[in-house]
Structure 1
Amino acid sequence: MKNFQVSEDIVSLSDFKNQASKMLHQMQHSQRPIIITQNGKPAGVLISPAEFDLFSERSRFIQAVQGGLGDVAQGRVVADEDLDRVLDEAPMV
């Protein structure tokens, strides 16, 4: 995702309502998020579906890594040799 441009990518909710189609097209073309304000304060961020999918994938990956690091810290690990033995003994499905 590209960095947003304050002069173009921050819009009020009323402006977004009036120009939603144009702004969606602009967002997809520029690949920048649109920050929507309400009463002068940030209220939401609009990103493309592809960017949302990328953020979701990255979040799941980071959670998995943190979970693995937590397992290591708690001693919930298996030695390579033990894992090899268990896998060799497991029935093939």
Structure 2
Amino acid sequence: MKPLSVSKNIVSLSEFKARASQMLHEVQNSHHPLVITQNGKAAAVLISPTDFDALTEQARFIDAVEKGLADVQQGRVVADEDLDLEA
């Protein structure tokens, strides 16, 4: 996902409604997120399905690493030699 451009990637809900098809196409092709505002405040962020998949995969990876580090800190580990004996 590419970085946000304030001048190009923040639109009001009414502008999004008027140009939804075009904006969806732009998000899918540019991979820039689109912030949609309502009453002057951020209400939603639109990203492409590819970028969403990448973000969720990254989140799952980070979660797995954090769980592994917690296991190490809690002593919930098996030495390589012991693992070979269990196989």
**Alpha-carbon RMSD:** 0.7
Matched residue, 1:12: 12
Deviations 1:29-78 (CA, angstroms, capped at 9, x unpaired): 22101000010011110000000000000000000000000000000000
Pairing 1:1-93 to 2, within 5 Å after superposition: 1-87=1-87
In the alignment, structure 1 segments of 5+ residues that lack a partner are: 88-93
Pair member with larger Rg: 1
- Under a length normalisation based on structure 1, what TM-score does the superposition of the two structures give? 0.90
Matched residue, 1:90: none
**Number of residue-to-residue matches in the alignment:** 87
**CA distance, structure 1, for counterparts of residue 36 and residue 16 of structure 2:** 7
In the alignment, structure 2 segments of 5+ residues that lack a partner are: none
- Under a length normalisation based on structure 2, what TM-score does the superposition of the two structures give? 0.96
**CA distance, structure 1, for counterparts of residue 67 and residue 56 of structure 2:** 16
- Point out the more displaced range, 21-30 or 72-81: 21-30
Deviations 1:3-37 (CA, angstroms, capped at 9, x unpaired): 12111110001111111001011112221010000
Percent of aligned pairs with the same amino acid: 62
Structure 1's consecutive aligned runs of 4 or more residues displaced over 4 angstroms after TM superposition are none
